[in-house]
A and B are shown apart, each in its own frame.
Chain A
Amino acid sequence: MPSIVNIWTRILEWFQDRQDRSRLIMGFNKAAREAFVQGVAPVQLEARISKGERAYKHQFSNPFNSGFRIKAYAGQQLSKNDTINIGAVVLANETLVRQLVVLGFDTLEVHSDVGNYGCRWQLHDYIMIGQ
């Protein structure tokens, strides 16, 4: 029979999870804003939590919102090459990908400001957890 402490721990962990996810998003957005203001990046990027792709689910996936979406908001238009490049840079950072996966994300999406076109990747393909 589970103790009340176990249930309480699970509730606390759920909140901790939420906090870790929003801390990651906020960290990314803060850096993106600063880079845009300083002129390092020609486009202001913003990360958000999205629905994600069901087919990309893994054992850590969040049941509802499992997508990590990066969207361009201000500045110039993102070309297809820019979109692919942003995705490649994120995926090349192994620590970030591993953290995204354990925080329940399974899809990386990069979208331009206008229209619905964008690229998406299955995060699970870029990690080596438990191997």
Chain B
Amino acid sequence: MAADSLMQTSQQDNSLNWWMVIAIIELIIIIALLFSKNKADSKKRSIKKQVMEEGKIDYSNIIASSFGAETLYKELIRKCHPDRFASDEKKVAIANDISERLGKYKHDLKKLNELKEEAITKLNISI
């Protein structure tokens, strides 16, 4: 009886060792995969770092622009149309410049407000 139990224990020890070997191999494979992914991701990480340092986002302006930019843009593009200043060449040039920038900042309320002030001052119009 005692000899049988001793045999069983030694067999269990052997099987335990095999499992340990398999576990170690798995661990090595996982670590190797992690390392290879790490290398591939290094470029992505540098791009991410660069983009995240680009600047702060003005969320308030984004929210305000979502509901106010379109109306202001339509009004400005109508009132700053170069054809309205056909008699004054200087004003036509300014109106052209403002119209061009209006198209660029169509969805940015802050920029549109700046352009509005510029239009009031330079084109002498009321908005």
- Provide the residues of chain B in CB contact with A27, threshold 8 Å: 57, 59
The interface centre, meaning the residue of A27, A35, A85, A95 with most chain B CB atoms within 10 A of its CB, is A35
Q: B62 to A89, Cβ gap below 8 A?
A: yes
Question: What residue in chain B is nearest A43 (Cβ atoms)?
Answer: B67
Chain A: interface residue total (CB-CB under 8 A): 39
Question: A interface vs B, CB < 8 Å?
Answer: 1-2, 6-7, 10, 13, 20, 24, 27-28, 30-32, 34-35, 40-43, 45, 59-60, 82, 85-86, 88-90, 92-93, 95-96, 98-99, 101-103, 129-130
Q: A35 to B63, Cβ gap below 8 A?
A: yes
Question: B interface vs A, CB < 8 Å?
Answer: 31-32, 34-35, 38, 44-45, 47-48, 51-52, 54-55, 57, 59-60, 62-70, 106-108
A-B contact pairs, 6 of them (CB 8 A): A1-B32, A28-B62, A30-B59, A59-B44, A60-B44, A93-B108
Q: B34 to A45, Cβ gap below 8 A?
A: no
Question: What residue in chain B is nearest A129 (Cβ atoms)?
Answer: B47
Our count of residue pairs bridging A and B at CB distance below 8 angstroms stands at 91
Q: B34 to A32, Cβ gap below 8 A?
A: no
The interface centre, meaning the residue of B48, B66, B70, B106 with most chain A CB atoms within 10 A of its CB, is B66
- Provide the residues of chain B in CB contact with A31, threshold 8 Å: 59-60, 62-63
- Provide the residues of chain A in CB contact with B65, threshold 8 Å: 89
- Provide the residues of chain B in CB contact with A89, threshold 8 Å: 62, 65-66, 69, 107
